[in-house]
């Protein structure tokens, strides 16, 4: 036993030395980590945060684009992409497969929900090469939550969905080149993000795009939040919302009319603009070719916004501004006469000819020359009355040699060709010099609004929705005053005769029942690439710029149609009028602008009859020439519409709400303006069909009203009703004579 003791002591010493060495190594390592904060070349705190910390991205919403009334034009919306899992490696339980096991059945069911043939779906589901999954292109993208739910209810194995956020354009083809579209693009960091690619979506991309937020937290190894862990939330900053001057209803009037003309006449191009001359607001703007911002269908036909990016010879609509210059300078003499037909600016220059082949109309007055759109009349005015230098100054005053500055991208300016005498004279009637449609709109606001020319714009205001704060608001901006108010009125009076006079080029084409329209037609030649102009009945740009009501215009509408498919019996103005008339008429009616035929003496102020006995109130209103309508069966007046500070027209209806039960009046013959009064005072919801005056209503006269009821009215213009009565009379007469009604109509 004594011999073993030394060996034991030696072993103990060795173990002590080993453990001591390990202790000092660990101590050194611990101190080193404490001092440097690193281990294995990595920062310990960062590694711990990586292991026990988490972070979630809070995605920012792209700003919404609204029309002037808050109707959505473009917004972000959740959508879903359809994906089919083909790899059987995803299935661990044969009773609950996670991949497509019945391609034929799956293809048949999917074809009911996506825009793809059953056969094409089957080919994708049975593709060779053992792919993990397949997608279905555009047909399988942008699926709604409803479609997703319906497909999920089928419980098709292997069919899954991936959520995404896409830009949604609820109106389809709708001012597409002005609004633009959004596409997914890689940014500098390689991340795929939404990017505006055209129009306002592009120019306002930084404003519309928000900043993502994040949620940082501490968790255990299994990902559960620690009770006392730090949590940091950085909120997302959503993009700014943009309100436009465009009015959704007017824009729809425009798109519908242009689509009909496009289908019937297949023109090369079309442009149309609706503007408020008092503010410069663009209420509607469209073109063909155009595209659907969601599907991108048609985008390859043209990338340009033709209203601002294309300048072309305007034709005779330019005569409006030449006439205005002559009146302002005091040199226009409407009753003075000249020889129409042809005219030579210099002895060596080619003849300027009137549009009827140079035949003219003999010796006529300058007023008739404007009505007939005589090129000779305008050329003589520019050379002999205004003078070239003075006229050139007016071209600048009307803004034709510079862009308007509208808040849309890529606007170009005019190209005034004004060197030789012939060029100077032809510029007066819109040949040789090129300008944009938007420049014409801007110049026309001076004619419509007593000489004050308004800068056009499409952005009404920009709003930070998170802060509920308006960050930018567009104000009316006067771009110049080229003419006086007196001159503007004289020009409108003359342009009204272009539409109303039998001599006028707009007669029987641009007249609108109930309203006086002031306007000017245009028929511009199209230059050939090698010089000269195209020939042929259809090879022109046919246009019209009109304003109404003529005495105090509320709207300006410009329409241009290039090279429509028309035969020799069809005037080029026909497709133009098929856009101008319905758009102008429907817009005036929608805006409740009173027809001039029905405008009567104004009553300065409507008296306040609230609280009076019904009979007393009726008598007082009737004495002022107003038409009181009692709503309800009570004895006293509880409310009136309009109120006591509202300017009224003689004979206009004043609605009296009594303190009894509300009843429905007979709305037959009421204007939409009066119907809106009834809706307001009765707290109803309105759905109107047509324009003009009420011919049908869904709520029976005399029935009791309830808050929130729907009122549906059908309206017709007096002209349509008269024509209908005439047709019915003709039909009755033909029936008495034993003739077929359709033979009479033919």
> What is the pLDDT of the chain when averaged over all its residues?
85
- Position 483 scores a pLDDT of 98
Average pLDDT (175-196) is 87
- Position 443 scores a pLDDT of 98
Burial class (CB in 10 A: 0-12, 13-18, 19+), 279: buried
Reply yes or no on whether the pLDDT at 715 is more than 90.
no
Which CATH topology does 250-293+305-590 take?
A: Beta-lactamase (3.40.710)
Q: How far apart, in Å, are the Cα atoms of 35 and each of 29, 330, 467? A: 10, 93, 47
Q: How confident is the model at residue 226 (pLDDT cuts 50, 70, 90)?
A: low
Mind listing the pLDDT tens digit for each residue in 370-394?
Answer: 999 999 999 999 999 999 999 999 9
Reply yes or no on whether the pLDDT at 293 is more than 90.
yes
Helix/strand/coil for 624: coil
- 497 token code pair: 């005769």
Average pLDDT (215-229) is 54
- Position 52 scores a pLDDT of 46
Which CATH topology does 62-175+204-209 take?
A: Penicillin-binding protein 2a (Domain 2) (3.90.1310)
Reply yes or no on whether the pLDDT at 735 is more than 70.
no
Average pLDDT (4-24) is 72
Reply yes or no on whether the pLDDT at 722 is more than 50.
no
Reply yes or no on whether the pLDDT at 640 is more than 60.
yes
Q: How confident is the model at residue 648 (pLDDT cuts 50, 70, 90)?
A: low
- Position 599 scores a pLDDT of 45
Mind listing the pLDDT tens digit for each residue in 417-440?
Answer: 999 999 999 999 999 999 999 999
Mind listing the pLDDT tens digit for each residue in 118-132?
Answer: 999 999 999 888 889
* CA dist., res. 63 & res. 210, Å (int): 7
**Quick one: how far is CA 120 from the chain centroid?**
37
Name the range with the highest mean pLDDT among 39-43, 510-514, 594-598.
Answer: 510-514
The helix or strand, by DSSP H or E, that contains position 459, with its residue range, turns out to be strand 459-464
* CA dist., res. 596 & res. 552, Å (int): 10
* CA dist., res. 672 & res. 252, Å (int): 19
Helix/strand/coil for 679: helix
**Quick one: how far is CA 89 from the chain centroid?**
50
**Would you say the C-alpha torsion 683, 689, 693, 696 has a positive or negative sign?**
negative
- Position 257 scores a pLDDT of 94
Place of tokens 């191009």: 269
Q: How confident is the model at residue 326 (pLDDT cuts 50, 70, 90)?
A: very high
Identify whether the C-beta of residue 517 lies closer than 8 Å to the C-beta of residue 547.
Answer: yes
Return the minimum-mean-pLDDT range out of 23-27, 308-312, 459-463, 660-664: 23-27
Q: How far apart, in Å, are the Cα atoms of 373 and each of 332, 369, 376, 421? A: 15, 6, 9, 21
Q: Residue 176: phi, psi to the nearest 5?
A: -60, -40
Report the percentage of the chain scoring pLDDT > 70. 85
Q: How confident is the model at residue 56 (pLDDT cuts 50, 70, 90)?
A: low
- pLDDT top residue among 51 and 97: 97
Mind listing the pLDDT tens digit for each residue in 545-570?
Answer: 999 999 999 999 999 999 999 999 89
Strand 342-343 and strand 352-353: the pairing is antiparallel
- Position 228 scores a pLDDT of 55
* CA dist., res. 547 & res. 512, Å (int): 11
Smallest CA-to-CA distance from 128 within 95, 153, 103 is with 103
- pLDDT top residue among 380 and 10: 380
Reply yes or no on whether the pLDDT at 516 is more than 90.
yes
- pLDDT top residue among 608 and 590: 590
- 222 token code pair: 């299994």
- pLDDT top residue among 516 and 514: 516
- 714 token code pair: 């059908």
Smallest CA-to-CA distance from 445 within 405, 508, 398 is with 398
Which CATH topology does 598-721 take?
A: Trypsin Inhibitor V; Chain A (3.30.10)
Query: Which residues are paired to 4 by β-bridges?
Result: none
- pLDDT top residue among 193 and 97: 97
Name the range with the highest mean pLDDT among 271-280, 462-471, 563-572.
Answer: 271-280
Reply yes or no on whether the pLDDT at 32 is more than 50.
yes
- Position 34 scores a pLDDT of 63
* CA dist., res. 564 & res. 240, Å (int): 42
Reply yes or no on whether the pLDDT at 248 is more than 80.
yes
- Position 2 scores a pLDDT of 53
Reply yes or no on whether the pLDDT at 488 is more than 80.
yes
Q: How confident is the model at residue 4 (pLDDT cuts 50, 70, 90)?
A: low
Q: How far apart, in Å, are the Cα atoms of 264 and each of 315, 564, 579? A: 24, 9, 12
Q: How confident is the model at residue 631 (pLDDT cuts 50, 70, 90)?
A: confident
Identify whether the C-beta of residue 642 lies closer than 8 Å to the C-beta of residue 558.
Answer: no
Return the minimum-mean-pLDDT range out of 219-233, 511-525, 566-580, 643-657: 219-233
Catalytic, 587? Answer: no
- Position 618 scores a pLDDT of 86
- pLDDT top residue among 278 and 696: 278
Q: How far apart, in Å, are the Cα atoms of 711 and each of 66, 678, 694, 708, 715? A: 27, 10, 12, 9, 13
- Position 41 scores a pLDDT of 53
- Position 739 scores a pLDDT of 31
- Position 38 scores a pLDDT of 57
**Quick one: how far is CA 628 from the chain centroid?**
39
- Position 210 scores a pLDDT of 83
- pLDDT top residue among 8 and 434: 434
Average pLDDT (186-210) is 89
Strand 648-649 and strand 602-603: the pairing is antiparallel
- pLDDT top residue among 5 and 222: 5
- pLDDT top residue among 694 and 260: 260
What is the distance in angstroms between the CA of the first residue and the CA of the last residue of the chain? 139
Report the percentage of the chain scoring pLDDT > 90. 56
- Spot the catalytic one: 316, 374, 577, 589: 316
Helix/strand/coil for 602: strand
In 526-636, DSSP assigns E strands to 540-548, 555-562, 602-603, 627-631
- Position 627 scores a pLDDT of 83
């Amino acid at each position: 036993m004594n011999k073993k003791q030394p060996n034991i002591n030696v072993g103990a010493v060795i173990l002590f030395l080993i453990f001591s060495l390990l202790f000092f190594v660990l101590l050194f390592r611990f101190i080193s980590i404490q001092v440097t904060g690193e281990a294995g070349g990595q920062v310990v705190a960062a590694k711990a945060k990586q292991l026990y910390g988490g972070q979630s991205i809070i995605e920012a919403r792209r700003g919404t684009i609204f029309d002037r009334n808050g109707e959505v034009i473009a917004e972000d919306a959740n959508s879903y992409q359809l994906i089919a899992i083909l790899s059987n490696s995803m299935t661990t339980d044969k009773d609950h497969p996670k991949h497509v096991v019945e391609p034929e059945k799956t293809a048949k069911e999917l074809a009911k929900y996506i825009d793809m043939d059953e056969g094409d779906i089957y080919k994708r589901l049975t593709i060779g090469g053992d792919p993990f999954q397949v997608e279905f292109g555009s047909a399988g993208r942008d699926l709604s939550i409803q479609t997703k739910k319906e497909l999920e209810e089928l419980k098709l194995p292997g069919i899954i969905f991936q959520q995404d956020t896409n830009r949604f354009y609820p109106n389809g083809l709708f001012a597409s080149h002005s609004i633009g579209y959004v596409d997914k693009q890689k940014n500098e960091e390689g991340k795929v993000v939404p990017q505006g690619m055209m129009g306002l979506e592009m120019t306002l991309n930084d404003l519309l795009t928000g900043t993502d937020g994040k949620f940082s937290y501490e968790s255990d190894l299994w990902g559960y939040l620690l009770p006392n862990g730090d949590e940091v939330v950085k909120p997302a900053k959503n993009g700014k919302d943009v309100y436009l001057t465009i009015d959704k209803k007017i824009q729809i009037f425009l798109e519908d009319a242009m689509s009909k003309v496009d289908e019937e006449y297949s023109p090369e191009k079309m442009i149309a603009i609706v503007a408020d001359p008092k503010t410069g607001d663009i209420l509607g703007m469209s073109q063909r070719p155009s595209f659907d911002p969601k599907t991108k269908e048609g985008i390859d036909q043209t990338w340009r916004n033709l209203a601002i990016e294309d300048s072309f010879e305007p034709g005779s609509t330019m005569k409006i501004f030449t006439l205005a210059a002559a009146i302002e300078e005091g040199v226009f003499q409407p009753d003075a006469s000249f020889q129409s037909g042809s005219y030579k600016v210099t002895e060596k220059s080619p003849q300027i000819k009137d549009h009827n082949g140079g035949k003219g109309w003999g010796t006529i007055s300058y007023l008739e020359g404007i009505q007939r759109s005589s090129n000779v009349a305008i050329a003589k005015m520019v050379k002999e009355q205004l003078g070239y230098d003075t006229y050139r100054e007016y071209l600048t005053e009307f803004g034709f040699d510079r862009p308007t500055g509208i808040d849309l991208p890529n606007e170009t300016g005019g190209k005034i060709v004004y060197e030789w005498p012939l060029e100077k004279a032809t510029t007066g009637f819109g040949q040789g010099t090129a300008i944009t449609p938007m420049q014409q709109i801007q110049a026309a606001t001076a004619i419509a609004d007593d000489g004050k020319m308004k800068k056009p714009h499409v952005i009404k205001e920009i709003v930070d929705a998170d802060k509920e704060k308006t960050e930018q608001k567009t104000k009316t901006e006067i771009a110049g005053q080229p003419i006086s108010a007196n001159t503007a009125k004289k020009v409108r009076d003359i342009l009204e005769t272009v539409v109303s006079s039998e001599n006028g080029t707009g007669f029987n084409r641009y007249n609108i029942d109930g309203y006086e329209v002031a306007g000017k037609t245009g028929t511009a030649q199209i230059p050939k690439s090698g010089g000269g102009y195209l020939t042929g009945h259809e090879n022109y740009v046919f246009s019209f710029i009109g304003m109404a009501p003529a005495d105090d215009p509320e709207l300006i509408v410009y329409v241009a149609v290039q090279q429509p498919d028309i035969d020799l019996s069809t005037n080029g103005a026909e497709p133009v009028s098929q856009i101008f008339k319905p758009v102008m008429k429907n817009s005036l009616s929608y805006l409740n602008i009173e027809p001039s035929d029905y405008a009567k003496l104004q009553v300065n102020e409507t008296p306040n009859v609230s609280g009076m006995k019904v009979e007393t109130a009726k008598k007082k209103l009737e004495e002022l020439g107003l038409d009181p309508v009692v709503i309800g069966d009570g004895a006293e007046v509880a409310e009136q519409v309009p109120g006591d500070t509202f300017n009224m027209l003689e004979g206009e209806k004043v609605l009296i709400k009594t303190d009894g039960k509300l009843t429905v009046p007979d709305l037959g013959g009421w204007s939409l303006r009066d119907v809106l009064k009834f809706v307001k005072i009765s707290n109803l919801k309105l759905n109107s069909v047509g324009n003009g005056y009420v011919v049908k209503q869904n709520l029976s006269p005399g029935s009791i009203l309830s808050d929130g009821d729907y009122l549906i009215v059908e309206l017709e213009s007096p002209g349509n009703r008269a024509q209908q009565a005439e047709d019915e009379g003709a039909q009755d007469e033909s029936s008495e004579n034993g003739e077929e009604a359709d033979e009479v109509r033919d």
